[in-house]
Structure 1
Amino acid sequence: MPLNKIVLRKLKMRLKDPFVTSFGKTQDKEFFIIEAKDPDSNAGYGESVAFTVPWYTEETVKTSKHIIEDFLIPILKSSIIHHPNEVTELFRPIKRNNMAKAAIEGAIWDLYAKRENIPLAEALGGENGSIDAGISIGIKPSTQALIHTIEKALEEGYKRIKLKIKPDADVEVLKEVRAHFPDTPIMADANSAYTLEDIDHLKKLDDFNLMMIEQPLAHDDIVDHAKLQAHLNTPICLDESIHSVEDVRKAYELGSCKIINVKIGRVGGLTEAKRIHDFCREHEMEVWCGGMLEAGVGRAHNIALSTLPQFVLPGDTSSSSRYWEKDIIMPEVVTKHGVIEVPDKPGIGYDIDEEAIESFTEWVKEFPM
Structure 2
Amino acid sequence: MKIKQVILRHLKLDLLTPFTTSFGTEYDRDFILVEAISSDGVSGWAESVAMLDPLYNEETLKTNWHILEDYLIPILLKNEIRHPDELSEKLFSHIRGNYMAKAALEGAVWDIYAKEQNASLSSMLGGTKKSIDVGVSIGIKDSIDETLTIIESRLTEGYKRIKLKIRPGWDVELINKVRKVYPEIPLMADANSAYSLQDIDSLIALDDYNLMMIEQPLAYNDIIDHAELQARLKTPICLDESIHSLDDARKALKLGSCKIINIKIGRVGGLTPSRKIHDLCLEQGIPLWCGGMLESGIGRAHNIAITSLKNFTLPGDTAASSLYWSEDIIEPEVTVDYGTINVPTTPGIGYNASLKKISKYTKYAQTYRF
- Tell me the TM-score normalized by structure 1: 0.99
**8 A Cα contact 2:36 2:108, kept in partner:** yes
Q: Percent identity?
A: 57
Give the aligned partner of residue 107 of structure 1.
Answer: 108
What SS is found at the alignment partner of 1:205? helix
- The letter of the residue matching 1:142 is S
Give the Cα separation in 2 of the matches to 1:288 and 1:155.
22
How many residues are matched?
369
Q: Cα deviation per residue 1:232-256 (whole Å; 9 max; x = unaligned)?
A: 0000000000001111110111000
Per the TM alignment, residue 14 of structure 1 is displaced from its structure 2 partner at its CA by 0.4
Q: After the TM superposition, which residues 128-277 of structure 1 pair with which residues of structure 2 at under 5 Å, given as runs?
A: 128-277=129-278
- The letter of the residue matching 1:240 is E
What SS is found at the alignment partner of 1:240? coil
What SS is found at the alignment partner of 2:3? coil
Give the aligned partner of residue 331 of structure 1.
Answer: 332
RMSD: 0.6
Q: Cα deviation per residue 1:288-342 (whole Å; 9 max; x = unaligned)?
A: 0000000010000000000000000000001000100000000000001100001
Q: After the TM superposition, which residues 1-369 of structure 1 pair with which residues of structure 2 at under 5 Å, given as runs?
A: 1-88=1-88, 89-369=90-370
**8 A Cα contact 2:84 2:113, kept in partner:** yes
Per the TM alignment, residue 92 of structure 1 is displaced from its structure 2 partner at its CA by 1.4
- The letter of the residue matching 2:266 is G
What SS is found at the alignment partner of 2:124? helix
Per the TM alignment, residue 77 of structure 1 is displaced from its structure 2 partner at its CA by 2.1
Per the TM alignment, residue 10 of structure 1 is displaced from its structure 2 partner at its CA by 1.0
**8 A Cα contact 2:2 2:79, kept in partner:** no
Give the Cα separation in 1 of the matches to 2:62 and 2:28.
15
Give the Cα separation in 1 of the matches to 2:50 and 2:17.
19
Per the TM alignment, residue 94 of structure 1 is displaced from its structure 2 partner at its CA by 1.1
Greater shift, 295-304 or 193-202, is seen at 193-202
Per the TM alignment, residue 67 of structure 1 is displaced from its structure 2 partner at its CA by 0.6
Per the TM alignment, residue 39 of structure 1 is displaced from its structure 2 partner at its CA by 2.1
**8 A Cα contact 2:127 2:306, kept in partner:** yes
Runs of 5+ consecutive residues of structure 1 not aligned to the other structure: none
- The letter of the residue matching 1:183 is E
Runs of 5+ consecutive residues of structure 2 not aligned to the other structure: none
Per the TM alignment, residue 34 of structure 1 is displaced from its structure 2 partner at its CA by 0.7
**8 A Cα contact 2:238 2:262, kept in partner:** yes
**8 A Cα contact 2:131 2:341, kept in partner:** yes
What SS is found at the alignment partner of 1:6? strand
Give the Cα separation in 1 of the matches to 2:202 and 2:289.
26
Give the Cα separation in 1 of the matches to 2:50 and 2:368.
21
**8 A Cα contact 2:5 2:77, kept in partner:** no
What SS is found at the alignment partner of 1:11? strand
Give the Cα separation in 1 of the matches to 2:79 and 2:117.
20
- The letter of the residue matching 2:99 is N
What SS is found at the alignment partner of 2:261? strand
- The letter of the residue matching 2:5 is K
**8 A Cα contact 2:21 2:165, kept in partner:** yes
**8 A Cα contact 2:237 2:258, kept in partner:** yes
**8 A Cα contact 2:2 2:77, kept in partner:** no
Give the Cα separation in 2 of the matches to 1:75 and 1:42.
19
Q: Cα deviation per residue 1:126-174 (whole Å; 9 max; x = unaligned)?
A: 0001000100010001001000000000000000000000011000011
Per the TM alignment, residue 348 of structure 1 is displaced from its structure 2 partner at its CA by 0.2
Per the TM alignment, residue 78 of structure 1 is displaced from its structure 2 partner at its CA by 2.2
Q: Cα deviation per residue 1:4-55 (whole Å; 9 max; x = unaligned)?
A: 1111111011010111000111111111111111122211001010110111
Per the TM alignment, residue 228 of structure 1 is displaced from its structure 2 partner at its CA by 0.2
- Tell me the TM-score normalized by structure 2: 0.99
